[in-house]
Structure 1
C-alpha cells in the first residue's frame, strides 16, 4: 500500500438499512467508500453525510439484477483509478407472495442480485486483494440461510444458505493471503427491507420487540467479525439459539417450526 493511501471499500445495496449502516461504520473507521445501488438520491444523501467523517465517497448507480452489472461496476471503478481493498455484498430483496404467485423474472432477479452478483464481484476484486496482500470481503447473508426454507419465501433462505457456504469456502481458500472473508447472518433487523417486500405489518405483529436488532448494531458486529477474520457471525443470542436448534433438530420438527413461522406471516 502506498504511504498515505486510505483503504477503500465497495458496498452494494448501500442506499439504506444494513448497507448504509456499514458505510457509516467504515467511514468512521477511516475508510473511503464506493457506494452502489439502484437509487441515486439516497446514495448521494448518504455520501454527503459521510463526508463529515472525512471520507472520500464515490457513488456509482447500477442494478445488479442486470447480468452485465458486476463487470460494468468493475470497469467503472477501474476507469476512476480506484483500488478496492474491501467488498461488502449487501444488496438484496425478497418476494414473499409464494412460489407460484411470483413471476419467474422476479425469481431470476433475486438469484442474480443475491447469489450470482456476489460471486462475480468477489471473483473480480479478490485477485487484486490477494496480490496486494490485504483484503476484506463481507457477504451479508441471513439467519434464514441457517434455517429450513420457509414456505411462501421459497428461494430467499436457500440463496442465503449458498452465500454462507460460498463465504466459508472462500474464507478457507484465502487463508494466509491477508484477505479476510466473513458471512454476516442477521435475523430480524429494523430496516426498510420488510416495507419493500410488503411484510412490515405481519412481522411486526408476529414477533416481539426483543427479537429485533438495529442495523447499526448488526453493522458493528459485522465489521468486528470481518476484522477478526471469522468465517461466519450471527448477531444476537437468540438468533444463535435458533440457528443451533435448526441444525440439531430432526428435519420434520424443524420444518414444522418454520411452517409455523410462515403461517404467522400469512404467507401459506
Structure 2
C-alpha cells in the first residue's frame, strides 16, 4: 500500500519540481514558431548573457527565501558595489556587498526588524550612498571589472560562465553544507530550528551576507557588460530576482527552493524579454506580460502550498 501511495504522489512531485522547466521549454517553442531567429546560436547566447546578472542575484536571493526571508536591497547593493568597484577595485565592491548583507542580517536577527523593513531601509541607504560617492555621475570601470563582462572567445561570454559558476556554488551550499540544511530548517519552522539547537540569529547573518555578496557580484558583472557603473544601475532588479526565485518553484513562506529552479526562473524572464523584443512588442506591454507571468507564478506557489 505504501508503494502504491508513493507512486501516486510521484507525478505531483515531478510537476511541482519541473513545472518551471516545462514552462520555459513551452515558452521557447512558442516564440521560436512565431520568430524563427530566436533559435539562432547568437540569440541563444544573448539570452544567456541577459539572464546572467539576474540569475547571480537570484541565487543569493534563494538562500534568503529558503530561510523564510526576503531581501529588497539587492538591486541597490549591486549598484553600490559596482560603483565602489569602479572607483577602487572589484574585490572591494564584493566586500561592500557582503558588509551590507551583514547589516541586514544584524537588523533582522538582533534588531528584531521584519526582513521587509530592514532590507527596504538598506535599499534606500545603499542607493543614497551610491549617489553620494558617484556625485550622481556614471564612472568607467577598470580593466578587472570590464573583463567580467567580456568574451573569453567568440560565442563564449564570461557572464554566462560566471552564472554557471554561481549556480554550482549555490547548489553545493544548499545541498552539501550544514548552512544549507539549516536554511531549510529555519524556513520550514524557525521555532523548531531553535529547539533543535540551531543558532538562528548567527545563521541569518551568514544568509544575508551571502545575499549581499551575490548581489555585489551581479553588480560587477553588470558594470563589466556596460563598461561603466551608474548611480541608478540595477534599479528594480530586486523584483526580478524575487520573481526568478518564485517562478523557479521556491516558496515565499520558506523551506522550499532549489538552485536549478532559480536558474530556470531567470531564464524564463530572459527568454520572455528577448522573445517580446523579437516580436516587437511595445515596452509598456512587455511590463504587463512580465507582471502577469510573475503573478501566475505566485498563484501557483499559493496553490501548491494549499
TM-score, normalising length: structure 1 = 0.29
Question: As a proportion of its length, which structure holds more strand?
Answer: 1
- Indicate the structure (1 or 2) with the bigger Cα radius of gyration: 2
Question: As a proportion of its length, which structure holds more helix?
Answer: 2
Higher RCO, 1 or 2 (CA under 8 Å, sep at least 6)?
2
